[in-house]
A and B are shown apart, each in its own frame.
Chain A
């Protein structure tokens, strides 16, 4: 072990200590403080589980998680099967389409749905105009609406992971089942589904845990009695009622513990149950079936339905982006470019901040991620596995936990939160694993046999590295860069805790313009702009390294 590696390791650990462990430990310490005394203890946790209100928020959140998971699974399973198995036209475009909700902030979709399905939204207004109903129907406000929007947002995770699972299955296993006489549905239930359960679980965990991290969408839909929303209200609005504040922090810690716990449990389960290692005859595409006309038709119909649902959000945002005051009318009537003029000319600050913060976060990410990837994959420095473990854990940590812990840790003592550098710093920490995961994934795809083949063919090791390894790695690194940028660009749940006047980013601008102001047009234009920027970036990613993306997302990845 060289001194250089040790040096890198020490620096990386120092960064982790200062920006991850130090702030997060504040969260634990604060949650143990007993209000009105100088003592520490588990009293707050006991209070939490004794107080009927907090207990209610806990069960509500659990219920929401289960409902969202059931909904996404019911709708995602057929879709994943169709995408993975049937020979259909337009599959590629559709796959790109279905990625769209992931990269948009969930609440932007919520706003679009309110315009469409709200009590005075397009659907209700049309129904009332046609005389079908005399009073508006409540389509979305309440738990059902929350399940709908969250399921729509999270559907891609289930579809991506399941279709990766269906593709990875060794066709010979299913063929064997068929030969033994298990046809059709029975084969699907007894062979196919169990085989892709690890893949399903990877996606399902992200879906199930989402309600434990998303506090904003419930507030928009008027469902406050959930763990993260209550935590947000307790922490963001109370500064002197210490017991309340601590209870908020306890809620954050409990959410985090559930997220990390379930994440780790599923991870270890997935690693134990990987069936793909057995496979021999699998192809890149997996098993593709030519469907009969009826199945084909219903598949297209199903894809069309989901496609419409997914496209609703960008279409509605687009319409409102080019209109003004689209209120109490089924469709916009006044078309304008003013919203964009405002964003680009009068308040270019948000756009500038978004790019600047994401770019600085990206630089931090690369400066940290490249040596970390190198250290983890190519050296034997002690503690590197722990390093990897901590970084991976950041995938599961709710944004609210990062935001709150940063406020607690970097206010007095190390007053970083008074400087705008806290914004890119927190983005960097929140999206810490992204770059690393991509680098990892590309290392995993860089099969050692390729290098060996090159050497057997007579190339020197140096030449092998530059001609074979490096180009393959670069692709992954580039995809990692873009994905990191996208995820930093759309981050809000941490940033909203830390921003001060003049540090607003585009996602915060969408929130402020919709939720605190009156201008949905501007919010819509901002969201539309985000969709365009992110979609262009996604296209670049898809062109350059779709396979790597699938590998990093489909198997055990996730972003929250």
Chain B
């Protein structure tokens, strides 16, 4: 590869080499100094506060802007805010766990009750009662809105909804699915998208809703059947919003209520869908144990629950949590999102909504937090193709049995077998065995038609 120097060149090169050596030294010294210099420029003692959490970009941007202004105005100093958003609630919880009690942030910003209960149980939170704590309700519709031990307090409540693109559903001539069971209708097959419970707390809560309202067995059976309806899995709840807004998939499962408001404010033809069984998510904040900037974190928490902080919550496209605010008043004060919030909710304050919730067992949800995520991923997500091929075969054979029955054939044996196949599929999640049972049912059916 390399051309050897002809011998004639070698002699005279010695001098040149001496020169180049000096040059290289200078270059290296320069490089080393420059690298050090780059480090020094940024080492400056400044006021800091760090957030970790799953809140959307619009909210974190809005809160950053508002709190920086407030801090400058009140303390005459700049504050540097770092925001770590590794993913959805479970991912954020996992991040805090990985810090092993030496957090790289001060405040856990966002996520609902079970995430905070998990953090509290594992000892990562310390109590703090923000100044306007009393302005937040204790309970609403039977659901906890703040922690009586001051471990966490809701700053932006919402309800678990689904999302649909009205224009696309219309183009496809499909009715709007009203209930969870409606979504299992074959007409919606390949028109639904959702994510993994580990990637999104909302999705986790949706599965928890199914498990608690349908019963554990039926809840998992429902999720297996729903998985077969999906066009694909998205990478997170925002990805779901995005796909529905663009019309790639018309129906999105597990969406925070305000996503529809946010997308509509941007001009997308989407609407939220309050399913028959749902819960409140008290999107909350909590102070982390061993927070490196505890004093500033407390200032932030106080500000977040002040009227000013709550306005930035609304501008960040989340619903404010204080009971003493009215969207119509804020609209006159020039809060741009107040109009959209009023339109989206149809009432003047979030707490004026009339919604019934399921009987939500927070303790149970906390206890099986990790297990639900794991089970869904291992047994449904990773076996998605297997699951679909198994169910589709069962459906085929069921159709054949139905057709044979109409012809007057005695299908009792095949019918018993296919029921067994369905049971294996829905309750045991034994996809291969269910397939086998379905094939056997088909053989029995063929035998009885002869």
> What residues of chain A have their CB less than 8 Å away from a CB belonging to chain B?
2-5, 7-8, 11, 53, 114, 118-120, 128, 135, 141, 219, 222, 224, 236-241, 325, 327-328, 360, 363-364, 367, 370-371, 374, 376-378, 419-421, 440, 443-444, 446-448, 452, 461-462, 500-501, 512, 515-518, 520
Contacts and interface: CB of A to CB of B under 8 A. Distances in A.
A270 to B, nearest CB: 13
B168 to A, nearest CB: 6
Given A8-B24, A461-B9, A501-B82, A420 B267 contact: no
A114 B268 contact: no
Interface in B241-261: 241-242, 245-249
A421 B38 CA distance: 8
B39 A421 contact: yes
A301 to B, nearest CB: 33
B277 interface: no
B373 to A, nearest CB: 10
A482 B242 CA distance: 36
19 contacts: A4-B17, A7-B25, A119-B248, A120-B168, A120-B248, A236-B86, A327-B268, A371-B24, A371-B27, A374-B20, A419-B42, A440-B1, A501-B82, A512-B57, A516-B57, A518-B241, A518-B263, A518-B266, A520-B246
Interface residues of B, number: 61
Interface stretch (B229-237, B287-295, B387-395, B413-421): B229-237
Q: Which of A3, A120, A420, A520 has the most CB of B within 10 A?
A: A120
B308 interface: no
Interface string B30-58: 11001100110010000000000000010
Contact of A500 (B82, B97, B241): B82
B248 A118 contact: yes
B2 interface: yes
Contact of B232 (A5, A141, A236, A461): A141
Q: Helix, strand, loop or mixed for chain A's interface?
A: helix
A128 B171 contact: yes
Nearest to A223: B232
A119 B244 CA distance: 11
Contact of A327 (B2, B3, B246): B246
Interface of B: 1-3, 5-6, 9, 12, 17-18, 20-21, 24-25, 27-28, 30-31, 34-35, 38-39, 42, 57, 82-84, 86-87, 91, 94-95, 97-98, 167-168, 171-172, 198-199, 231-236, 238-239, 241-242, 245-249, 262-263, 266-269, 382
Nearest to B51: A501
Contact of B86 (A237, A440, A447): A237
B171 A518 contact: no
Nearest to B80: A502
Contacts of B3: 443, 446-448
B238 A120 contact: no
A512 B95 CA distance: 20
B170 to A, nearest CB: 11
A498 B400 CA distance: 55
A520 B267 CA distance: 13
Given A119-B247, A239-B94, A419-B39, A53 B28 contact: no
Contacts of B167: 328
A419 B38 CA distance: 10
Contacts of A376: 2
Contacts of A363: 31, 34
Contacts of B84: 500-501
Nearest to B104: A418
Contacts of A241: 94
Nearest to A513: B57
Contacts of B235: 219, 515
Given A327-B268, A448-B6, A518-B241, A237 B57 contact: no
B245 A327 contact: yes
10 smallest beta-carbon distances between A and B, as pairs: A4-B21, A120-B247, A239-B98, A222-B232, A367-B31, A240-B97, A239-B94, A448-B3, A53-B382, A237-B91
